[in-house]
Each structure stands twice: as structure tokens, then as C-alpha cells.
Homo-oligomer: A and B are copies of this chain.
């Protein structure tokens, strides 16, 4: 340096370089000579300085370019911290049911059935047929394909008692999976900051969707027979809530099934409080010992908003679900869906409808029932033998999960980690509680691959519970294990 003109050119070009994209061509020496009124020697000197600083590079015969500095340093995203601000609660990380695992692990955590439980042949041929129809190449109406809407309506209508006006096809809105429905329902029917009654424990996806919609959760304890009616009444009264999210049939995770009377009573409470009952009939096709009787079938005043999904019974790749809603609620939900995703792929709708209207679908459901029964019973039996300390309050009459209470003082997360270290993937029950867990629980899903390894898995789970109980003499008190 040491030369004012050189410095001037170096400073000028440095400023220019900070805004120029890497790789940009630097003005020629001739241009710079003119621009800065400097001699060619001075300009060359400035260029040498800049090259020495690693800011530019010259390609002989081509020109001089801003150096690709950016690759040298790791990207700096720190500026995003201020732009993003603090995250909304509960929206960080993925729940365990969504995790992918090593192929040789025993997966008891996931919520999606193994292919042995799916109507694979039906699904593949339905997709191939749909590929040849207009559905492969056109847009679906926002509310869904009329035939598929009609199918969902007819399913519910089939369960309607005499004297109740069943829903029409127009009352059905097709969704790409029930999760999308939950977000929309909570946004459309409850709204930010407003109270939503919710069973505890309940489906983590509903807790997540509620967090995203920024509604205020009001947990209502729910056991093997569903919630206590008094609790529900009190929650409605104290909070003025206008909606209650429920899983009256083979609830996830507990497996609870409400009695017909409880369903009727809760519907009556909802009526009295001018409230919606959001009934998530997620396991409608996953019955084992009992048949589902949707509360929605008994309502024609628009109190029950009914969600049913085909994702778990048809194929996780045919993400198709439906929400049935009547009155202005239907329009409010449709507007939210349109803003959120416009419409659902007609290909998925056509293929799903094809599957469920084949006579082989009924056959499939019957064999699925037996497969699920065998898997459930094997897992229950294995746990009884190898993990006696994992307490099963209820043998579920349908659904895909066992909900097990661990001895007090045991850290469920610790058990999950220890089992994972030994190749058994299970889910920490904490994720199913909208607030603090009432006790340590784990959830085991019996729809994954390799049911013949259930005894092995149960043995490992049993050993880890045993070890945790022995390691921690505080077991039995309220103190956490680690």
C-alpha cells in the first residue's frame, strides 16, 4: 500500500466486492483507470493487494473475478435467530412415532402398519387403474371428488339410527390425511387463544396441531372407559369452551372405547353448551373385538365434526381422509382448507375410492381383524411373561397400540433410550399428554414389521424396567429416576 491512490481503489473495490456475488467479474483495469483517474500501475498494484487478501482472482485471458470466498467459511445463519424469534411451544423436533430407524431394529414406536396389514395388491391395481383415468391429469374440486364424498357420507349414514337425517355427500370434505384436518378444525372452529377441551392422554398429532393453531388446551383426564362425565361438564362450564376433541373408539394411545351411553351423554353436554364435538374415528377400520359406533351417526344438528382416515387401513401412500361437518362450520372449514392446500390430488382420491369399493376390501378388513388380534395377543402375552412390571390397564378392542404404565419413579425416557440401545424402539408416553404426564408410560405399537420378535422385545423391555427399578431405590416415590 503506502500509496493514497492505491488505497482509494482498494477501498472502493472492497466495498463493491461485499455486495457483488462471488464470481462476478471485476471491472477491467482500463475501466478502473478511467473511473479512479489513476495510472495503470496504480490500478495493477491495487489488484495485487486485493488478490493478496484473497478477495479476487484473475483468470488469464478471461478477466478478474470476485473470489469464491464463501465456500471457505462455514455458512453463518446466526442472523436468522433474530428474524425467527422464539418458536411457538411444542413445535420443535419430531415425535418418536415419526422417526425412521435401522432396518434390523424391532420397531414398536411407529404408527403406520406394516405391508402385511395392508391390501397391497388392491392398492397397486387401484393406482394403476387410476393412472389411466382423468384423475391422473386433472384438478380435483376443492371439497373433493363427489364419488368419494358420497362414499364417506354413505359409510356414516349406514350407522345412523332411524329418525336421524344422515349427512349428504356435500357435508364431506376430502383431506390429504387426518392431520391436515386437525389443524384446519382447530383453526376454523376454535381459533387462537380460545379453549379446546382435549382428552389426556390423547393423540400427539392433535396436541401438535393444537399448538400450531395456537389454541389453549384444556386437558380432561381420560381412562380405559373414556373421560368422566362430571369432569367434562365442569370443563365446559369453567372454560366456556366451544369444542371438545375426542377419540371415543379405540383411542390412541389408551385403546379406550366409550360406551354408547357416554357418547350420548357427552353429545348432550356439547348440545347444552353450544359446542362442537370433534370426533376422530382414526381406527374405524382397525377393529378387533368390537365394532365402532361413531357418535356422529346420532347427530344431525351439526354438533359432531367427524374425521375418518384411510391412511392406516388402505396405504400410507394414499393419504386420504375426510371430515364430515354440517352447517356453516362446513363452509368455515372448507375456506381454511382452500387457503391451506387448495385441493387433494385426484389421483389419490380415485385410487382410494377404487380400493374401498372393491368387494375384496371387505375380505381384507376381515383378515386384517384376525392379523391384528394375533399380533395384539402375542404382544400382550409376551409382556405378561417378560415384563410383568409394565402394567396394561386395558386390552384394547381395536386400534394398533398397547398403553403401559411403568412403576412410579421410573423415567420413561430412560427406558426408551436403554431399549433403543438394544435395538428395540418404543415410544415415551409423555408425548401423548397435553400437560405433564400423570405417571410414566410407554406406548407399544403392534402393527410394525416382525411380530415374531415380540417375545424378544418384551424380554428386553422387561429387563430394562427391572434394571431401572433396581438402580433407583427411590422407586415408588414421586422422584424422577434421573
Contact = CB atoms under 8 A, between A and B. Distances in A.
Interface of A: 1-2, 6, 19, 21-24, 45, 48-49, 51-54, 57, 65-71, 75-77, 79-85, 87-88, 91-95, 98, 100, 110, 112, 115, 118, 120, 123-125, 127-128, 130-142, 145-147, 149-154, 157, 161-170, 176-177, 179-180, 183, 187-189, 191-192, 205, 208-209, 211-212, 214, 242-243, 264, 268, 274-276, 298, 300-302, 315-319, 326-329, 331-332, 335-336, 338-348, 357
Top 9 nearest A-B pairs by Cβ distance? A22-B163, A68-B163, A52-B150, A77-B327, A23-B162, A127-B131, A139-B316, A212-B339, A23-B161
A21 B161 contact: yes
A402 B451 CA distance: 60
A155 B133 CA distance: 30
Contacts of A22: 161-164
A342 B98 contact: yes
Contacts of A1: 146-147
Contacts of A118: 137
5 contacts: A80-B302, A84-B329, A123-B136, A192-B192, A192-B214
Contact of A131 (B131, B187, B268): B131
B112 A139 contact: yes
A69 B142 contact: no
Given A135-B317, A163-B68, A268-B19, A75 B168 contact: no
Contact of A345 (B65, B135, B317): B317
Contacts of A151: 48, 52
Contacts of A132: 124
A52 B212 contact: no
B54 A167 contact: yes
A188 B327 CA distance: 32
A48 to B, nearest CB: 6
Given A146-B1, A338-B94, A345-B345, A85 B191 contact: yes
Nearest to A166: B54
A335 B21 contact: no
Contact of A302 (B77, B88, B136, B176): B77
Contacts of A149: 52
Contacts of A164: 21-23, 68, 70-71
B146 A84 contact: no
Contact of A54 (B141, B145, B165): B165
Given A2-B146, A347-B318, A328 B130 contact: no
B142 A94 contact: yes
Contacts of A70: 163-165, 300
Nearest to A183: B340
A206 to B, nearest CB: 10
B75 A302 contact: yes
Contacts of A211: 339
Contacts of A92: 331, 335
Contacts of A112: 138-139
A154 B51 contact: yes
B49 A336 contact: no
Given A83-B274, A154-B52, A357-B48, A187 B212 contact: yes
Given A165-B75, A179-B341, A100 B147 contact: no
A274 B300 CA distance: 52
Contacts of A6: 147
Contact of A338 (B98, B166, B342): B98
Contact of A150 (B53, B141, B300): B53
Nearest to A181: B341
Contacts of A180: 340-341
A301 to B, nearest CB: 6
B83 A276 contact: yes
Contacts of A335: 87, 91-94
A352 to B, nearest CB: 11
A169 B317 contact: no
